Chains A and B, each alone.
Chain A
């Protein structure tokens, strides 16, 4: 795998992709937690 051609581009692409997805996921989860505290339980009927 280290002997891959264009390793830099491939690595950059993969890292950026999953970094973006992961970062966004965390941001959504965090917003979810903050909002859950402000909202009465009748409005959040999932579990």
Chain B
């Protein structure tokens, strides 16, 4: 399965390297959202600083929607689905591979947004360990869930509007957990944040398993 996963991840990342959609479109979008929040919340009134963790993760989620939609669309190209079925690739492997590729893109986005938030909102990155672990867990959580739900809506004409509707409620715990962890980190009380990081890890594991199991059914049935 891991060999299959590596194959698929490699393919997805190569496509990204060639087309650079994440780099040229999703990343600027993410930074733009950060700017917009600045306009909306008036940087002089202290709201931005207090709200930084929440704004950061909301931005990550919105950008993730774009990245995940793109990842799912790669499977819709002519004949790809049949080729996948005919090849001996294990569906679970395909799932893991796609998840890894998307996770890599999301991780890059998060680093970029982290820099953005430090510069634009004046955030002071303390407790880097907690911050990084939270990002890791949240990234896996979003990537696994998003890849599964991406397969749920793949091929549909309405996928652009349906994916957010399906995915965002499911990711509410991720938003809650990641934000609380970041708040604890930035406030200098990491002890409050680690349990939330734990929640994210549990979520990530649950959806890794669920996705690996269900992906095969979805590939066959559609």
A and B: direct contact (Cβ < 8 Å)?
A: no
